[in-house]
């Protein structure tokens, strides 16, 4: 598959949608920002954007993801959250996926768009809507 404009990639482009709202404002705001960063990178890749811009965009996505995952992990530890180990392992896996995307992009490999789509899918469907929802419900109950 080419890294150029692709209907397959476009159909997977991440956009914020109401079902991603978990009802814990600080978390929702960060998720919304993460969605925006990932969506921007997907668009840049599908539009064959300048390499420097793509590199900047994936670096920003990695930096913000790290910051967001650290924030959630601090909250989990501070509140004795029972699912910490499993949740953190998912964060670590997601970061590995992003580092893989960065590696593929810097190497000019064409499958970077597939790895990014895999991250988007794993992060939203498997992580945000399941693990983060459990965490948000737990934190809301504490309030």
- Catalog residues that contact Fe ion under the rule CB under 5 A: 72, 132
As measured in angstroms, the least distance from the Cβ of 31 to Fe ion is 6
Shortest CB 87 distance to Fe ion, Å: 6
Residues with Cβ within 8 Å of 1's Cβ and at least 6 positions away in sequence, in order, are 8, 110, 111, 113, 114
Nearer to Fe ion, 72 or 104 (CB): 72
Which H or E run contains 5? Answer: none
Residue 95 neighbours by CB distance under 10 Å = 15
State in angstroms the smallest separation of the CB of 79 from Fe ion.
14
Record the tokens describing residue 73, joined without a space. 């992990």
Closer residue to Fe ion in complex, CB, 51/77 = 77
Q: What SS3 state is found at 109?
A: coil
The span from the CA of 53 to the CA of 44, in Å, is 8
Residue nearest to Fe ion (CB): 132
Minimum distance of Fe ion from residue 141's CB (angstroms): 17
Closest to Fe ion by CB, 4 or 83: 83
Q: Which is nearer to Fe ion, 53 or 121 (CB)?
A: 121
d(CA 27, CA 138): 13
């Amino acid at each position: 598959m080419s890294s150029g404009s692709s209907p397959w990639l476009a159909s997977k482009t991440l956009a914020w949608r109401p079902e991603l709202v978990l009802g814990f404002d600080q978390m929702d705001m960060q998720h919304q920002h993460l969605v925006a960063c990932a969506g921007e990178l997907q668009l840049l890749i599908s539009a064959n954007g300048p390499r420097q811009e793509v590199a900047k965009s994936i670096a920003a996505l990695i930096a913000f993801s790290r910051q967001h995952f650290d924030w959630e992990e601090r909250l989990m530890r501070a509140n004795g959250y029972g699912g910490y180990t499993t949740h953190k392992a998912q964060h670590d896996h997601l970061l590995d996926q992003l580092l893989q995307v960065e590696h593929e992009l810097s190497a000019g490999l064409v499958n970077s768009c597939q790895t990014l789509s895999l991250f988007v899918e794993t992060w939203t469907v498997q992580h945000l809507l399941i693990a983060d929802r459990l965490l948000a419900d737990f934190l809301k109950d504490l309030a």
